Structure 1
C-alpha cells in the first residue's frame, strides 16, 4: 500500500510503501518513553520511503551510538521518522501518528526493549 504522512502543521510531508499497517510498536528507551510515539513495527526499506524534500524544515536529534537520526518538524516539533544509517540506507521507522487515515488506537502495539540496550559513550 502507498501511505502519505505529515507532521501536525503539515510542513513536513513524507510517503512510503508498506504492507497494510495493522500493528505498531513502542520502544521503552529513555527517548521513546518521553515522546510516546507508536512506531512502525519494522524498518521500511529506503527504496520504499520518500523522505521530506526540504532538509531545512527538519530538525535532527542523534543520541546513544549516533546512528539513528531522529527527525522532527522545526515548526511544530512533531517527531516524524527515524533514519537508520547514513541517509536512511538501513531503513526508516515511522511515527504512525503522522500517517494519514491511520488510527493508531486500533493497532495491536508491542513493546521494544530499548531500556536494556547499553548507552555507548555515556
Structure 2
C-alpha cells in the first residue's frame, strides 16, 4: 500500500510503501515516553520511503548512541520519523503513525517496546 503523511501544520510531507498497517509500537524509553508517538511496527526500507524534500524544514535530534536521527517539523514541532543507516549505508525509517493520512494510530494493536531496558551509549 502507498501511505501519505504530514506533520500537524502540513509543511512537512512524506510517503512510503508498506504492507497494510494494522499494528504499531510504542517505546517506554525516556525520549519516546515524552514524545508519545505510535511508531510503524517495522522499519521501512529506503527504497520504499520518500522523505520530505526540503531538509531546511526539519529539525534533527540525535540522542543516546547518536545512531537514530529523529526528525521533527521546525514549524509545528511534530515528530514525523526516525532514520538509521543499515550495514550497507542505506537508511531505514520508523514513522510516526499519527502523521499518516487516514490512519487511526491509537486504534491499532499497539505493542510496547521496553526501551528502558536497553543500555545507554555510556554503558549505564
Q: How many residues align?
A: 121
2:6 is the alignment partner of 1:6: yes
The TM-score normalised by the length of structure 2 is 0.94
- How much does 1:104 deviate? 1.1
Match of 2:67 in 1: 67
Give the Cα–Cα distance (whole angstroms) in 2 for the partners of residues 94 and 47 of structure 1.
15
The correspondence of residues 40-59 of structure 1 with structure 2, limited to 5 A, is 40-59=40-59
2:31 is the alignment partner of 1:31: yes
Unmatched tracts of structure 1, length 5 or more: none
The correspondence of residues 85-96 of structure 1 with structure 2, limited to 5 A, is 85=85, 89-96=90-97
Give the Cα–Cα distance (whole angstroms) in 2 for the partners of residues 91 and 85 of structure 1.
6
- How much does 1:85 deviate? 2.0
Match of 2:114 in 1: 113
* Corresponding residue SS for 1:40: coil
Match of 1:82 in 2: 82
Deviation >3 Å, runs of 4+: none
- How much does 1:105 deviate? 2.2
Unmatched tracts of structure 2, length 5 or more: none
2:7 is the alignment partner of 1:15: no
Give the Cα–Cα distance (whole angstroms) in 1 for the partners of residues 91 and 114 of structure 2.
20
The alignment's C-alpha RMSD in Å is 1.3
2:2–2:15 CA contact under 8 A, matched in 1: yes
